[in-house]
Copies of this chain bind each other. A is one copy, B any other.
Amino acid sequence: MATATVSGLHHPEVDELRLEGVLHALSDPIRLTMVRALAARVEPCACGSIDVPVSKSTRTHHWRVLRENGLIRQVERGTTKLTELRRDDLDARFPGLLDVVLRG
């Protein structure tokens, strides 16, 4: 039962978040579903536990887009990846945006 480790996954800093990138990440229906599902959780959750109608590898692709554009944070733990919304960061950088999307 190892503790969550800081992995080599690339996450942009708060001040590196680009609006175009964030909007692009959110403009895909599958990713929108993922973000909303994530928002409905309190704790970080295994990214595989959110089911969307695409294959496993496509899911990996979408999680990467979300991560690289600063929407989510992921840490590896064991065989799974704990995933959470970067609520605070997003609210700090683009106040109101997440609210709109989650209300959507």
Residue positions of A touching B, CB distance < 8 A: 19-21, 23-24, 26-29, 32, 94-97, 99-101, 103-104
Complex copy number for this chain: 2
In the complex, the 6 A-B pairs of residues with the closest C-beta atoms, listed nearest first:
A24-B27, A23-B27, A96-B96, A97-B100, A19-B104, A23-B23
Q: Given A24-B27, A27-B27 in contact, is the A19-B96 Cβ separation under 8 Å?
A: no
Residue on B nearest A31 in the bound complex, by CB: B20
Give A84 Cβ to nearest chain B Cβ, in Å: 21
Kindly list chain B residues whose C-beta atoms are within 8 Å of the C-beta of A103. Answer: 94-95
Q: Given A20-B27, A26-B23, A27-B24 in contact, is the A100-B94 Cβ separation under 8 Å?
A: yes
